Amino acid sequence: MSIKTRIAAVALATLTITAGVASSTSTAQAKPLGWGWGVGAGIATAAIVGTAIAASNEPYYYGYHRCGLQPRYNAFGQYVGSVRVCY
């Protein structure tokens, strides 16, 4: 890169930064955001959480599942515990 193109690049960058600072120096006005952001964020959060809950459950193709505890025994016939079985 030659010295002339470096000077031109620095000048262009300086001009861009100066224009950006000059255009952003306006008076600040504080005003409330209103209900829009809160309601929108609440609806979006509810949609995401609802989708995650619905995706984690098993589908109800054959109706609701009936679940119960089934006793489990080892090879010697001794009771080892219960396991949840759904049918």
What's the CA gap between 68 and 74, in Å, rounded? 20
Tokens coding 59: 């589908």
Q: What is the pLDDT of residue 4?
A: 74
Helices (runs of H) and strands (runs of E) counted in the chain: 2, 2
Is the pTM for the entire model greater than 0.85?
no
pLDDT score of 44 more than 80: yes
Tokens coding 74: 């080892």
Q: Is 83 helix (H, G, I), strand (E, B) or coil?
A: strand
CA 49, chain centre distance (Å)? 9
